[in-house]
């Protein structure tokens, strides 16, 4: 079996009498439905972090708070990272955008795991609040004379 392709639905084997048997295989560790939006979708990075309605709500809320550069990009993680890589803005603005993106990915994954393994649902608005809080703490701490984020403080605190 190749590990980079889809998993087989059935396995075939010979029993002790030499009879070929076919057994359906279920992979309990692969959710058949998205843990956030509950649609029948393969829970891959593309769905989980970009096309899922939960992720869309997180990114939309964060974009209202901070101007993230991927509002017009393709609805994929690759599209978002490409937009970030091509983003033309002052260094401090780009660094804040990168941090928000990284926090978004981390906390969407965190919320997924909380739901899947602990049956604890974290709303998108709770995740957005957590991301904002984390970004505020990190950038307020980093605001020094050599690394000045002061022109962005009002937006970060807003």
Decide if 153 is inside a domain. yes
Dist. CA 134–CA 124, nearest whole Å:
15
Number of domains in the chain: 1
pTM exceeds 0.85: no
What is the domain extent for residue 117?
A: 43-157
Decide if 2 is inside a domain. no
Lowest pLDDT segment from 26-30, 42-46, 104-108, 128-132 = 26-30
Name the pLDDT band for 76 (thresholds 50, 70, 90).
confident
Name the pLDDT band for 153 (thresholds 50, 70, 90).
low
Mean pLDDT (the chain) is 82
Most confidently modeled range among 15-24, 35-44, 134-143: 15-24
- At residue 108, the pLDDT reads 96
Contact 77, 96 (CB under 8 A): no
- pLDDT over 90 percentage in the chain: 32
Decide if 98 is inside a domain. yes
Across the range 140-156, mean pLDDT stands at 65
Decide if 31 is inside a domain. no
Structure tokens at 134: 């984390």
Note the pLDDT tens digit of each residue in 89-125.
888 888 889 999 999 999 999 999 999 889 999 999 9
Decide if 134 is inside a domain. yes
Decide if 64 is inside a domain. yes
Decide if 78 is inside a domain. yes
DSSP string of 81-98, one letter each residue? HHHHHT--S-HHHHHHHH
Name the pLDDT band for 37 (thresholds 50, 70, 90).
confident
Decide if 29 is inside a domain. no
Helix (H, G, I), strand (E, B) or coil at 27: coil
């Amino acid at each position: 079996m190749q590990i980079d392709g889809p998993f087989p639905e059935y396995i075939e084997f010979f029993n002790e009498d030499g009879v070929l048997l076919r057994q359906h295989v279920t992979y309990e560790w692969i959710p058949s439905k998205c843990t956030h939006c509950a649609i029948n979708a393969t829970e891959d990075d593309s769905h989980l972090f970009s096309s899922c309605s939960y992720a869309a709500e997180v990114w939309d809320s964060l974009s209202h708070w901070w101007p993230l550069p991927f509002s017009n990009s393709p609805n994929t993680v690759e599209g978002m990272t490409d937009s970030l890589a091509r983003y033309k803005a002052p260094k401090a603005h780009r660094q804040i955008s990168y941090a928000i993106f990284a926090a978004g990915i981390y906390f969407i994954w965190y919320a997924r795991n909380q739901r899947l393994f602990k049956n604890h649902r974290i709303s998108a608005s709770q995740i957005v609040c957590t991301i904002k809080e984390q970004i505020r703490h990190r950038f307020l701490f980093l605001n020094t004379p050599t690394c000045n984020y002061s022109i962005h403080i009002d937006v970060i605190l807003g």
